[in-house]
Amino acid sequence: MALKLFKSNIEPQCAYCEYAEITEGTDVAVCRKIGGIMQLYSKCKKFKYDPLKRQPRAPVFNGDFSKEDFEI
């Protein structure tokens, strides 16, 4: 049985593609497969999912903690 890292219905995006080289500070990627510049949230037929390019969402805390929340 294979380990599933994310849900199986990942929407294809260049931001998660194995062939995309993401440029820092911009919203574009250079595609090694088609040899062009693509927007991070666009897609093409050559998409191949790379789970290591996924950025996990930061946890959201509401900040309503009391002293009892930190006692053992």
CATH of domain 10-50: 2.20.70
d(CA 45, CA 64): 47
Give the residue carrying structure tokens 């820092």.
24
Domain-wise residue ranges, the chain: 10-50
pLDDT digit string (tens) for 2-56?
Answer: 556 566 677 888 888 999 998 888 889 999 998 889 888 888 888 898 888 887 7
pLDDT at residue 19, rounded to an integer: 92
d(CA 72, CA 59): 23
Question: Is residue 15 within 8 Å of 40, Cβ to Cβ?
Answer: yes
Assessment of whether the complete model's pTM goes beyond 0.75: no
